Amino acid sequence: MSTQNAAQSERVKQAWAVLSTVLDPEVPALSVRDLGIVRDVLIDEQGMEIILTPTYSGCPATEVIEQDVLAAIAAAGLGAARVTLRRAPAWTTDWISEDGKRKLFDYGIAPPGPVLDGGAVPIRFMARQAQLERLTCPQCKSQNTERLSAFGATACKALYRCLACKEPFEHFKPI
């Protein structure tokens, strides 16, 4: 490996470490790496390119995330950088790291279950209450829970309530 390639490889490694410190503005318990929206870090003649896949195309936090990523890379002294948004393949909650799912639960948000288990996922417009997944309450760990609303503070979360401890909590919907 040439000296230049070794330097570029080290720069990419440092960038990944820096990206682990950039928090998601909507769920600050997770970094953009935990969330799985950082797809790649590349080096070319124009500098560093950070490829992001937003959680969904209309995500209002996308611009803030871009700015935070570039500011963190600059603050780390890693040189010129740019962000490229790649919307295909579409982001899925399967990209959230296991550590990210644990952090969501510790933060009080029930993490999503797997989506891409090798089979197709049917689209459901209205699920019957009996068919809804019983989630584990992040407060008391009971599975005696119910969905209150298909939407929470953001479109990617649903609102649930624990029937055991009576505490409401959000669930990061699998998509």
Per DSSP, 101 falls in state H
Residue 153 pLDDT:
83
27 with 81, same domain? yes
Residue 54 near residue 85, CB atoms below 8 Å = yes
Residue 138 pLDDT:
95
Residue 130 pLDDT:
46
Residue 119 pLDDT:
47
Domain boundary among the residues 48, 75, 91 is at 91
Task: Tell whether pTM > 0.85.
Answer: no
68 with 26, same domain? yes
26 with 70, same domain? yes
Per-residue pLDDT tens for 11-41?
A: 999 999 999 999 999 999 999 999 999 999 9
Residue 145 near residue 134, CB atoms below 8 Å = yes
83 with 120, same domain? no
d(CA 104, CA 98): 10
- What is the domain-level CATH number for residue 8? 3.30.300.130
Residue 132 pLDDT:
59
d(CA 93, CA 116): 9
Structural domains of the chain, count: 2
List, for the chain, all residue ranges whose pLDDT scores fall below the cut of 70.
1-2, 4, 116-133
Question: Domain span at residue 127?
Answer: 98-172
Residue 151 pLDDT:
86
d(CA 19, CA 41): 10
Q: How many CA atoms lie within 13 A of 14 on its CB side?
A: 16
Residue 1 pLDDT:
60
54 with 133, same domain? no
